[in-house]
Structure 1
Amino acid sequence: MKAFVYDHGKYQVKDMPDPKANAGEVVIALKRAGLNHRDLFIANRLGDGKEALVIGSDGAGIIESVGKNVTNVSVGDEVIINPSLRWRENTVAPPAGFDILGMPDNGTFAEKIVLSAEQVEKKPSYLSWDEAATLGISAMTGYRALFTKGALQAGQTVFIPGAGSGVATYLIAFAKCIGAKVITTSRYKEKQEKAKELGADIVLDSNSNWDKELEKETVDLVIDSVGRATFNKSLALLKKGGLMVVFGSSTEDTVELNLRDFFYAQQQLFGSTMASAEEFHEMLALMEKHRIHPVVDTVFTLDEAENALHYLEQGKQFGKIVLAINDD
């Protein structure tokens, strides 16, 4: 099979052995794969000596073969992949043994993948292959941050800095479908307009005076993934007793926190990452109920995977980037 791999210090498209399904496993002929920022960090984590690893965490395709004792899917089923490995029930933190598909295991940027049958779910029929391939890291991360950790309710207001990321587009759609108010930001005019089209109630310029523009708003929840560049500006908007959830740090990892201001305001700060299979099912049910369509920015071919990574790294996309693997 053809695959996009990180091999001894460089990315390349390479022929790899076709995977085989052992007991409890399935082989999926992939139609599409979704990109995530995690894919950009593989080189930093593996260095130059690692043998060929297929990267990629998100994907959708058709069951090609099944191993013994597989009962939840059959050959020919259209499925999506849950990239959150070995985390079944919704717990306060991932259990021991938790990993994310795509490192250290081979991932989705390939014509085929083998994985435990527990990691696949039926593809929602109303979604295209492009859309279905994005229902992994971003959607799961957004759902857990917003509902499990953030406990967002109808009528509340959530502030989401950075409107264009894949997770942010899911956050906006999820929050709006339950009747919450959404405030978000972007430094790009085009992304500001797209966020409004997606349903955001207020969209600010990233470089504007947030305190002044939102002085009449009550922010119940902040979901931040930017890091140092926005952390304290976001926290300053949060109401007394409000809650902030952090799931990423696309700028600097470390921040300064005024502890006195924080504890006097009796605010709450939660970390979050990925989600359990239980939450994955809840997220799919929410999407189907409200017929939520993921936002797909650009589709590249598998041969163009390195260009797709460069495009992701530039951060100009609004929504998700997808690899088209097989259209047969």
Structure 2
Amino acid sequence: MKALLLVDESQDKIAIREMEIPKPGANEALVQIKAAALNHRDQWCRIGMYPGIKYDTVLGSDGSGVVTLLGEGADAGWMNKEVIINPNIDWGPDEAAQHTAYHILGMPTNGTFAEYVVVNTDRLMEKPAHLGFTEAAALPLGGLTAYRAVFTKAKIEENQKVLITGIGGGVAQFAYQFTAATGAQVYVTSGSQNKIDQIINHGATGGFNYKNDNWAKEALKETGGFDAIIDSAGGESMNDYLKIIRPGGRLVHYGSTTGAPKKLDMFRLFWSQASIHGSTMGSDSEFVKMIEFVTSHSIVPIVDSVRGFDDIVSAFDDMHVGKQLGKLVITI
């Protein structure tokens, strides 16, 4: 079978190789991957900015496909099912935080950028009927991360005002879609006016270009402040967020692409009664709830582009540049 491996002998650091089709063990399923999607973690692995780098591993956390073979003891009901894969491995029993053994499918465990992947059957869920393989493949990692940020941490409710930063990212797009589905008013930020315009056309209430030095003042004047802000950047923007958060508001951070702020305005933080929450992907129970939410609201992931497996390196290059709005999906 063809697979995309993280390698140490190529300038690209990723390469398509031929591998044997894996065989499922006890309680495992062999899934023929129909579509897979990129996440920023795949690019971070490629450039060595992810912990525990393990070369000759098949990358990819997002995938959908069909079960073609079952190992000993596996539930026969999964055979020939169209499925979506939960990329969580060993979250653990505590809903509040992941176990120390926790990791994500696609490094160090072989992932979805291959014609076939073996996973335990408890990682499988039936593909939502309203989604094709391409759309379903875009959902798992980003959807789960967004679900935890929006509902478990930010506790978004109808009619609240919410700011989603960096709307070009996959998690941000799901955070927007999930928040909008609750009936909240959703605003976004981006360094690209084109992305802001696109997401407003999609239904967002408004947006702000963070390259404008006065964007926070504009946001406060237009909205009166936000009940919650969901962010992946961190950095100096943290102090801007504290200027526009409403009393008792929640700042939820699922990433820190611009690092830590040099100085945090602690006065604004405590005086506003605001709270800061860290968030990662999510538990297995949240994955189930996320799929149920997507199904009940007929949410369709925003897909930026779809390309064949032989063009997967170009998708990595596009992610590195960051011009996409929505998920980059690969058909296999």
TM-score (norm 2): 0.93
Partner of 2:293: 286
The whole-number CA distance in structure 2 between the counterparts of 1:199 and 1:73 is: 40
Q: Contact 1:172–1:199 (CA<8 Å) still a contact in 2?
A: no
Change over 3 Å in CA distance of 1:88–1:250 after alignment to 2: same
8 Å Cα contact 1:6/1:53 also seen in 2: yes
Take 2:315 and 2:77, find their aligned partners in 1: how far apart are those partners?
31
User: Partner amino acid for 1:171?
Assistant: A
Counterpart residue identity of residue 67, structure 1? G
Partner in structure 2 of residue 211 of structure 1: 217
Aligned counterparts, 1:45-60, within 5 A: 50-60=54-64
For residues 160-199 of structure 1, the aligned pairs below 5 Å read: 160-199=164-203
Tell whether the 8 Å contact from 1:19 to 1:114 is kept in structure 2 after alignment. yes
CA distance in 1, matches of 2:76, 2:156: 32
Greater mean alpha carbon deviation, residues 69-78 or residues 139-148: 69-78
Letter in 2 for 1:264: W
Contact 2:238–2:261 under 8 Å retained in 1: no
| 1:11 matched to 2:14 | yes
**How much has 1:190 moved relative to structure 2?**
2.0
**For residues 278 and 54 of structure 2, what CA distance do their matches in structure 1 show?**
31
Change over 3 Å in CA distance of 1:259–1:213 after alignment to 2: closer
- Aligned mates of 2:43, 2:236 — CA distance in 1: 20
CA distance in 2 between counterparts of 1:122 and 1:77 reads 7
CA distance in 1: counterparts of 2:253 and 2:60, whole angstroms: 23
Is 2:41 the counterpart of 1:38?
Answer: yes
Aligned match of 1:79: 83
Question: Could you tell me how far apart the structure 1 residues matched to 2:265 and 2:219 are?
Answer: 23
In structure 2, give the amino acid aligned to 1:315.
G
Query: Once superposed, which parts of structure 1, at least 4 consecutive aligned residues long, lie more than 4 Å away?
Result: none
Instruction: Report SS of the residue matched to 2:315.
Output: helix
Q: Show the counterpart of 2:330.
A: 323
Note if 1:111 corresponds to 2:111.
no
Q: In structure 2, which of residues 297, 320, 326 is the aligned counterpart of residue 313 of structure 1?
A: 320
Higher relative contact order (CA 8 A, sep 6+): 1
Inter-partner Cα distance in structure 2 for 1:17 and 1:314: 33
Structure 1 residue runs of 5 or longer lacking an equivalent are none
User: Given the alignment of the two structures, is residue 92 of structure 1 paired with residue 99 of structure 2, yes or no?
Assistant: no
CA shift digits 1:143-175 (9 cap, x unpaired): 000100111111111111111111111111111
By how many angstroms is 1:288 displaced? 1.0
In the superposition, relative to structure 1, how do residues 303 and 149 fare at CA in structure 2: closer, same or farther (>3 Å)?
same
2:239 aligned partner: 232
> Judging changes above 3 Å, is the alpha-carbon distance between structure 1 residues 248 and 255 closer, same or farther for their aligned structure 2 residues?
farther
> TM (normalized to structure 1)?
0.94
Q: Which residue of 2 aligns with 1:122?
A: 126
Residue-by-residue CA offset, 1:15-59 (whole Å, 9 max, x unaligned):
012110001111100000110000011131589x95411001100
CA RMSD of aligned residues (A): 1.9
- 1:2 partnered with 2:8: no
- Residue of structure 2 equivalent to 1:202: 206
Q: Would you say the 8 A contact 2:236–2:260 is kept in 1?
A: no
Distance 2:260 2:58 in 1: 27
2:140: which partner in 1?
Answer: 136
**Percentage of identical aligned residues:** 36
CA contact (8 A) 2:92 2:102 kept: no
Question: 2:30 matched to which residue of 1?
Answer: 27
Distance 1:58 1:255, change over 3 A: farther
**Alignment partner, residue 255 of structure 2:** 248
User: Does the CA-based 8 Å contact 1:32-1:61 persist in structure 2?
Assistant: yes
Give the AA of the match of 1:276. S
Q: Which residue, 66, 69, 87 being the options, matches 1:65?
A: 69
Deviation, structure 1 residue 95: 2.0
Alpha-carbon offset, residue 236 of structure 1: 1.7
Structure 2 spans left out of the alignment, 5+ residues: none
Match of 2:218, as an amino acid? K
